[in-house]
Amino acid sequence: MATTTYEFTRGLDYPSIVATSEKVAWTVDAIFRDRRFNATKRIVPDSWVRTQHLEFLNEQEQRTLNHIRAFSYVHLFGNYEEFIPLHLTGIVQQDWHDDRAHLRALLRFGEEEIKHQQLFLRAEAVLEASCGYTFGRYFDPNKDRVIAFTKAVLAYPPLPRFLLLAAFEWGSQRHYVESVRDHPGEGSDPLYVDILQYHWIEENQHTKTDVLEIEQLARAMSPDEVSTAFDHIQGLGGLVDATFVGQVEQELATFQSVTGRRLAEPEATALREALSQSMRAIWAEVALTHPNFKRVALELSKEGAAKLGIV
Ligand SMILES: [Fe+2]
Ligand SMILES: [Fe+2]
């Protein structure tokens, strides 16, 4: 098999990834200390919610929706990440005697994702303490849904899993940047911004490991097989989309219970529609249109990339 070298891995190597990961590592306690979110203001950018055009909502209700979305983000991210350590140890197990730096990059990546899950769970709890009420969760405490989600993701081959993962990780960069850039003069909640920033700092290393793994997997495949990986990304996207639908229902229920407002059917429909659109925009769109993801997709397979609308 001819070895293909992709431009998208230029300058990347496992020893540097591990070294940077050691340098930038943080702890959940150091981020939170005894801090709280400021529930008198919005917590995340308006662009994450996109309900401002709905005139039947007053300012306080808009703020409540903002807090609800802040919760949904950490709730979904924490649960999405549960498949990652298993996904990575599957690669590690292929050769325990492989290069030390390679295995450390993969194992640190997995360990960091478990730490991120703790970060997001802590954020869920502190959001509830700061806002004074509980938020609806699509992923149940018994973990039935996250177990099913993880299993369904892992049923796909490693290449599309790495590709979608890299897209979501690059998406987390945009989430951080938007949280700082939105509303000049009045940014998002400082604790929330820190969570997004520290998360991205580690995700940044993960994207480098992703593309090195993507290169190795793609090298061993025919062009048709690489193109098929993009059909699988759409399949994985369907799994994620089902969680958006489920969490938006939770958001509507939380909104009605917190505000005591019973929405008439046309209002509920308009709100559900707006929340569904913004949910897809902040996750799927920011990820799949990230310039780095587009570059990787196009270099791997123009035919495959076109299936995601990337040309
Ligand atoms: Fe993460
Ligand atoms: Fe990550």
State the chain's mean pLDDT as an integer: 96
Residue 180: pLDDT band (50, 70, 90) is: confident
Cβ atoms 295, 8 nearer than 8 A: yes
The residue among 300, 134, 126, 144 whose CA lies nearest residue 230 is: 300
Please name the residue that has the structure tokens 């730096």: 101
Q: How far apart are CA 189 and CA 39, in angstroms?
A: 9
The residue among 57, 102, 107, 68 whose CA lies nearest residue 87 is: 107
Instruction: Express each pLDDT in 87-128 by its tens digit.
Output: 999 999 999 999 999 999 999 999 999 999 999 999 999 999
The total number of residues written for the chain in this structure: 311
Residue 255: pLDDT band (50, 70, 90) is: very high
pLDDT cut 70: percent of the chain above it: 97
The alpha carbon of 76 and the centre of ligand 2 are apart by a number of angstroms equal to 14
The alpha carbon of 243 and the centre of ligand 1 are apart by a number of angstroms equal to 18
Nearest ligand to residue 88 Cα: 2
The alpha carbon of 124 and the centre of ligand 1 are apart by a number of angstroms equal to 15
Instruction: Express each pLDDT in 221-236 by its tens digit.
Output: 999 999 999 999 999 9
The alpha carbon of 138 and the centre of ligand 1 are apart by a number of angstroms equal to 19
The alpha carbon of 267 and the centre of ligand 2 are apart by a number of angstroms equal to 37
Q: How far apart are CA 263 and CA 268, in angstroms?
A: 5
Residue 70: pLDDT band (50, 70, 90) is: very high
Q: Is the pLDDT at 2 greater than 60, yes or no?
A: no
- In angstroms, what is the C-alpha Rg of the chain? 20
| Residue 33 CB-density burial (10 A; 0-12 exposed, 13-18 middle, 19+ buried) | exposed
The alpha carbon of 134 and the centre of ligand 2 are apart by a number of angstroms equal to 27
The alpha carbon of 81 and the centre of ligand 2 are apart by a number of angstroms equal to 8
The Cβ of residue 299 has, within 10 Å, a number of other Cβ atoms equal to: 18
